[in-house]
Structure 1
Amino acid sequence: MNEKFFDLKKEKQDRIINAALRSFALGGYIHASTDDIVKLAGISKGLIFHYFETKLGLYQFVYDYSIRVINLEIRAAISGDITDFFTIREEIEKVLSICMQQYPYIKLFLYKAQAEDTPEAASAILQTREGYEAMMHSILERGDITRFKPEANYQIVGDMIEMISKEILEKMFREGIFQPEDYFEEVMKHMNMLRAVTYD
């Protein structure tokens, strides 16, 4: 990736990043079109290849950039003192909602990338993805599970939160009604209900 990309005005950087995020989130690596990306970003195709050389280069950059943005927000926002199982997840969703204000498709893109089965694309992001997953795991592992009812499996509850969040996000985009604050509010309704029925 050409470091001169960051010499562009921030508004133009974000137009390119958001166009790529949208295309890769909706189509995956194979079906994302550089023609669509440049049209959405309002730039020339030559500019994409000048900075990223290939579609794979753009894909890897956008993934690495997304993780960097989220990591910075998480490290700044989530204190090591927070240990409640649900509060940790609430703070993570809050951070992601903040990131989605600037980059609406960032979380949907990460979901799509997690399931990416094109070998070269999956390989290009593997190291960054594993680092991100390890960081998230270490944060979630801090969650205090002692308040759960004996019959409530905290691992299943964690999986449910992830599945519910994903479904809410995908549904909002399908219906064309996505707003970060509405997404966060809807996730919290479900999380608070789970907290109520699984905690002593």
Structure 2
Amino acid sequence: MNERFFLLPAKKQHAMINAGFKVFSRNSYKNSPMSEIAQAAGISKSLLFHYFRNKKELYLFLWDTCARTTIEHLSASGCYEPQGLFESMEKGMRAKMEIIRQYPDMANFAIKAFYEKDPEICAAIQESYHKYFNFKADKARLNMDPAQFVEGLDIGMMYREMYLASEGYLWEMVQKGAVSMEKMEKDFEKLLEFWKSIYLRKE
């Protein structure tokens, strides 16, 4: 990647990033032409290639941008600070809603990228995902004080169950087409209330 990309005004960087998220979130990796991304960003195709040598480089940059942006916002939200697990999850959800306001297509891109099967980028995406997921999982475990949960609960199993349920929900939404973030927020709130009702220790 050409480092001069980071010397561009923030507004132009933002336009290129959002254009990439938009095009890649609507098509498979293979069927997302760089010319369409350039058009969405309001620049020429040759200028886009000036900053990114090829489509793979741009795609992986966008994926890394997703991860870095998410972790930065989550950290700033205070969701990794010592507190109840579900309080932490709620703060995290609010942080993600703020990300969506800045990058409307980022969530759709991230979901699409996670399930992308193109051999050119699949392995790199999965390797990066597990690196960032392990970071988030380690942070989340800091909030898992056994005293807040029902007696005898297998906390590791609970965490895995919530993770798999969330992934399954995202996959279902992807299969239906465009992801409604408003619906996702409401559904997630319902999931949180359900998990609280079965996992939290009653006062």
TM-score (norm 2): 0.80
Q: Does the CA-based 8 Å contact 1:149-1:198 persist in structure 2?
A: no
Q: Which amino acid aligns with 2:63?
A: Y
How many residue pairs get matched? 196
Q: Distance in 1 between matches of 2:161 and 2:144?
A: 15
Matched residue, 2:11? 11
Mapped to 1, the partners of 2:175 and 2:55 lie a distance apart of 28
Distance 2:124 2:167 in 1: 25
SS of equivalent to 2:27 = helix
- Preserved CA contact (<8 Å) 1:168 1:187: no
Aligned-pair CA distance for 1:194: 2.9
Cross-structure match for 1:159:
164
Specify the code of the residue in structure 2 equivalent to 1:156: E
1:174 aligns with 2:178: yes
Alignment map for 1:1-200 (pairs within 5 Å): 1-144=1-144, 146=146, 147-148=149-150, 154=158, 155-164=160-169, 166=170, 170=174, 174=178, 178=180, 183-200=184-201
Structure 1 CA distance, aligned partners of 2:119 and 2:176? Answer: 29
- Taking only aligned residues, the RMSD between alpha carbons, in angstroms, comes to 2.8
Measure how far apart 1:179 and its partner are: 5.1
Residue ranges of structure 1 left out of the alignment (5+ in a row) = none
Instruction: Give the drift of 1:25.
Output: 2.1
Shift of 1:44: 0.8
Using a 3 Å threshold, how does the CA distance of structure 1 residues 80 and 41 change in structure 2: closer, same or farther?
A: closer
Retained in 1: the 8 A contact 2:114–2:125?
A: no
Identity across the alignment (%): 24
